[in-house]
Amino acid sequence: MLRIILFLGTNLAIMLVLSIVVSIFGLDRWAYSHSGINLQGMLVMCAVFGMGGAFISLALSKTIARRSVGAQIITQAHGADEQWLLDTIAHHAKNAGIGMPEVALYDSPEMNAFATGMSKNHALVAVSTGLLRSMNRDQISAVLGHEITHVANGDMVTMALIQGVLNTFVMFLARVIGGIVDGALQGDRESSRGGGFGYFIIVMLQQTVLGFLATIIVMCFSRWREFRADAGGAKLGSRAGMIAALQTLAGNQGNTSLPKAIQAFGISGNSGVARLFMSHPPIEERIAALRNMT
Q: pLDDT tens digits, residue range 15-62?
A: 899 999 999 999 988 888 766 788 999 999 999 999 999 999 999 999
Could you tell me the pTM of the whole model?
A: 0.84
**How far apart, in Å, are the Cα atoms of 146 and each of 126, 241, 273?**
12, 11, 23
Provide the pLDDT for residue 196: 67
Angle CA 95–162–31, to nearest 5? 145
Provide the pLDDT for residue 256: 58
Provide the pLDDT for residue 264: 55
Whats the size of the chain, residue-wise? 294
Sequence letter at residue 144:
L
Q: Which residues of the chain have pLDDT under 50?
A: 190-192, 254, 271-272
Catalytic residues: 147
Q: How far apart are CA 112 and CA 127, in angstroms?
A: 6
Which residues, in sequence order, are CB contacts of 267 under 8 Å at separation 6+?
Answer: 111, 112, 113, 114, 131, 143, 146, 147, 245, 249
**Eight-class DSSP state of 99:** P
Provide the pLDDT for residue 294: 75
Which residues, in sequence order, are CB contacts of 233 under 8 Å at separation 6+?
Answer: 142, 143, 144, 145, 146, 147, 149, 241, 242, 245
Provide the pLDDT for residue 182: 77
Task: Give the containing element (helix H, strand E) for 259.
Answer: none
